[in-house]
Amino acid sequence: MRDEQHTAHEQAPAGDSEQITAHAAMCIYCGEAVIYDTRQVTDMEAAHQQLVEHDQQCPKNPLVANLDAARASIGRAHAAKNRAEEAELAAARELDEVRAECDDWHQAAAGLSADLTDMGQQRDALLAFVNEALDAAFDGGSLDGATIQDRAEEIGLLTAEAYDPERHPDELASEFDAGDTIYVRQPWMVIQAAGDES
Ligand SMILES: [Zn+2]
C-alpha cells in the first residue's frame, strides 16, 4: 500500500519538478523497491542502507547463494574437523589403554624374570650342598650333624638368628632361651618342605 502511494506521488504532473521528491531504490536481483524522499538526505541514506541490507540476503542474489553454500561448506568442514578431533581423542585413549596394558605385561615379565633368577640361585645352593654330600658318600666318608649345619649356613641354606619366642616356632621354646643363636631354613625352603609334608 505504501509503495502504491509513493508511486502515485511520483506520477504527479511533470513541470512542477519540486513535487517529484520520491524516488525508488530497487534491488537489481529481485526488483524489490525502497521508496525514499529526495528532499531528506537521511531518508536516502536510510533507503540505501535498507537496500544494502536487503541485497545481503536477497534470495535472488547469486552472491548470497554462494555465501550460503560457502557457509554450509564451512559448517560441514567444522563438523568434519570435530569428528576428526573426536576420533583423534578416541585413538589417543585407546593408545593409552594399550600402553597401560603393555606396562602391566612388562611388570609381569620383570616379576617372572626376577622369580627365575631367584630359582636359579636356589637351585645352585641346593646343588652345591647335595653334591658335597654325595662327594662325601662317594669318598667313603660321612657328614655329621655339625658339619651339615655349618656347610648349609655357608652355602646360604640356613641363616643364624637370635632366638625370639615372638618370631620363632613354639617347639623351639623348650630348647632355647631368648637370644640364643639358632639356624633357620630360608623361607623358600620352608614352603617347599610344607608342600612335601602335605
Ligand atoms: Zn532482491
C-alpha 33 to ligand 1 mean position (Å): 8
Rounded Cα distance between 60 and 28, Å, is: 9
User: Which residue, chain included where needed, has cell 519538478?
Assistant: 17
What percentage of the chain exceeds 90 in pLDDT?
A: 49
| All residues at 6 or more sequence positions from 54 whose CB lies less than 8 Å from its CB, including other chains | 27, 32, 34
C-alpha to C-alpha distances, 51 to 19, 35, 38, 133, 158, nearest whole angstrom: 24, 10, 16, 113, 104
Backbone φ and ψ of 14, nearest 5°: -65, 165
* Extents of the domains making up the chain: 2-60, 76-144, 157-198
C-alpha 25 to ligand 1 mean position (Å): 11
How confident is the model over 103-137, as pLDDT tens digits? 999 999 999 999 999 999 999 999 999 999 999 99
C-alpha 104 to ligand 1 mean position (Å): 69
Q: What pTM was computed for the model? A: 0.50
C-alpha 10 to ligand 1 mean position (Å): 22
C-alpha 51 to ligand 1 mean position (Å): 8
Write out the three cell numbers for 11.
Answer: 506520477
